[in-house]
Amino acid sequence: MTAEEFRITTLGKPLLDSPLKECAFIKEGSSVVYETDAAVLKEYVDRGEEIPAFEQAGPREKIFHDPAWSRAAILTAGGLCPGLNEVIKFLTLTLKQRYKVPVVYGIRYGYRGLNPAYGLSPLMLDEQVVDGIHEEGGSILGSSRGEESVEVCVDTLVRMNVNMLFCIGGDGTSRGAHAIAEEVKRRKLSISVIAIPKTIDNDISFIDTSFGFATAVLHAGKAVTGVHNEASGAYNGVGLVKVMGRDSGFIAASATMANPFVNYCLVPEVDFNLEEGEHALLPHLVERLNRRHHAVIMVAEGAGQKFFEEGKEMRDASGNILKKDIGLLLKERITRYCKEHNVEVSVKYFDLGYTIRSVQAEGSDAIFCGILAQNAVHAAMSGRTDMIMGHWAGKFTHVPITLATRARKKIQLDSPLWTSVKSITIF
């Protein structure tokens, strides 16, 4: 990495005094190093290179937008995630109470709400509207998937006189925010576009933690107890539990550590086989059943997708095509394999699915949402744009959208998390 890649775009020089009182302003230039090993950092200096570091987030003494003339807009896009309402609440409170921004629009159903064709008028957000919403899961704005024309979106922002847009969403949403920021730049407008990363899979690069993930893990972990009870409550019982994680297995791995009743943790990052070959699950499972008479298997939805590419794996005992659900496939294959090998088995399948993402954020996760949202407002007010809010080495940071969306974060197989998972599971 080079320091250059971490550079944040601004709309212009912040010249106005911040209206915040008694506030610990972050000095312009404050940063958070990308690498934290002292020896590595010394090498950069010794080579005469700038140390790669994120810009540190926080309130600035000088701001760019005049609050009295400002109009902010907030949207949520993509799937639900714990904490959406908490973020909306803190964006609104910070804009209205601290910066005295007079108008905060709540855009309905993601980018769709910026397209007048849908006829979705925005909510007017204020203290009364957001009071108590932090105790509700979901998003009071509604969410949606899919893209809208960037031109149409920017037209709407211009027509509504919006100069700060907060886009809460995943990869696609961030890319959409980047496209809007580019169009804004092309038109030489002064609209700050701030992305707030929402990924229940915690799979955004250059961001160590994203909101909602901890709550998802909390609930996934709790659910494992029931899975374990079903497994141990039956003779040769197998508790099989599927969690979200299309490309990254962070939830699966974390829930395994959070409630260490899991014996097999299957994630997209690690290859495995069923009947034969290296890391063959089924013979190993049978061996364990014979020895311990129960087992718990945690599987991320994106694990074992290769089995759907081979024709022979895609059909159940009746010859029906399975719908690419690795949980259902495993249930089917475990049952069939045990039958073929005359091993009694009772598979209980739990698909946690949306259960762990449609709840409110709580505890530390809720705190994270609150401070994250406050910092997003600070970033916008100071004129930052085309950036996404990050968190690194214990601090909130600013990250260029293009850097964050370059590649999806995956479990590092030599990380403490995965090393720990491996140490308490079978493979």
Contact status: 15 vs a second copy (CB under 8 A) = no
- Write the interaction track for a second copy spanning residues 101-120; mark x where CB under 8 A is met and - where it is not: --------x--x--------
Q: Are 211 and 318 in contact (CB under 8 A)?
A: no
Residue 68 engages a second copy in binding (rule: CB under 8 A): no
By CB under 8 A, what part of segment 237-256 binds a second copy?
254
Looking at residues 121 to 180 of the shown chain, list those that interact with a second copy (rule: CB under 8 A): 132, 134-139, 142-144
Q: Which residues pair with 63 in a beta bridge?
A: 16
Q: Which residue has the tokens 């009694």?
A: 344
Q: Is the dihedral of CA 330, 332, 337, 338 positive or negative?
A: positive
Smallest separation, CB 33 to a second copy (Å): 5
CB contact burial 366-397 (16+ within 10 A = b; e otherwise): bebbbebbbbbbbbbbbbbbbbbbbbbeebbb
Question: Min. distance of Cβ 351 from a second copy in angstroms?
Answer: 6
Q: Is 1 among the residues that bind a second copy (CB under 8 A)?
A: no
Distance CA 239, CA 243 (A): 13
- Measured from the CB atom, the residue of 42 and 187 that comes closer to a second copy is 42
Cβ neighbour number for residue 339 with a 10 Å cutoff: 12
Q: Which residue blocks in 246-319 are alpha helix, DSSP H?
A: 250-258, 281-292
The stretch near a second copy (CB under 8 A) out of 149-157, 188-196, 224-232, 382-390 is 224-232
Shortest distance (Å) from residue 36 CB to a second copy? 5
283 binds a second copy (CB under 8 A): no
271 touches a second copy by CB under 8 A: no
Smallest gap from Cβ 268 to a second copy, in A, equals 19
* 16 near a second copy (CB under 8 A): no
Dist CA 9 CA 199 (whole Å): 23
Residue 383 within binding range of a second copy, rule CB under 8 A = no
Q: How many residues touch a second copy (CB under 8 A)?
A: 104
Contact 111, 148 (CB under 8 A): yes
Positive or negative: CA dihedral 380, 383, 384, 390: negative
Residues with catalytic function: 201
Range 85-113 burial, b when 16+ CB lie within 10 A, else e: bbbbbbbbbbbbebbebebbbbbbbbbbb
Residue closer to a second copy (CB basis): 260 or 283: 260
- Interface residue with a second copy among 148, 183, 203, 230 (CB under 8 A) is 230
**Taking CB under 8 A as the rule, does residue 99 contact a second copy?**
no
Q: Does residue number 8 form part of the binding site for a second copy (CB under 8 A)? A: no
When the beta carbons of 181 and 204 are compared against a second copy, the nearer one is 204
| CA proximity to 81, closest of 356, 426, 377 | 356
State the nearest-atom distance from the C-beta of 303 to a second copy, in Å: 19
Q: Which is nearer to a second copy, 11 or 250 (CB)?
A: 250
SS3 5: helix
Q: Yes or no: say if 168 and 76 are a contact pair by the CB < 8 Å rule.
A: yes
Q: Which CB atom, from 184 or from 239, has the smaller least distance to a second copy?
A: 239
Of residues 308-337, those binding a second copy (CB under 8 A)? 316, 318, 320-321, 323
Instruction: Work out which of 11, 93, 194, 243 binds a second copy, going by CB under 8 A.
Output: 93
Nearer to a second copy, 158 or 314 (CB): 314
Q: Does 225 bind a second copy (CB under 8 A)?
A: yes
Residue 410 binding a second copy, by CB under 8 A: no
Q: Which of 4, 17, 39, 159 binds a second copy (CB under 8 A)?
A: 39
Nearer to a second copy, 61 or 351 (CB): 351
Contact residue for a second copy among 339, 367, 406, 407 (CB under 8 A) = 367
Q: Strand, coil or helix: what is 17? A: strand
Give every CB contact of residue 365 below 8 A, 6+ residues apart in sequence.
82, 83, 211, 212, 213, 214, 215, 218
* Minimal distance, residue 219 CB to a second copy, in Å: 8
Q: Is 36 in the site for a second copy (CB under 8 A)?
A: yes
Task: Mark the segment that binds a second copy (CB under 8 A) among 44-52, 65-73, 183-191, 398-406.
Answer: 44-52
- Nearer CB in complex with a second copy: 105/418: 418
Pairing of strands 264-266, 346-351: unpaired
Structure tokens at 37: 């090993």
Q: Does 291 bind a second copy (CB under 8 A)?
A: no
- State the DSSP code for 68: G
Candidates 353, 368, 415, 369; CA nearest to 219 is 353
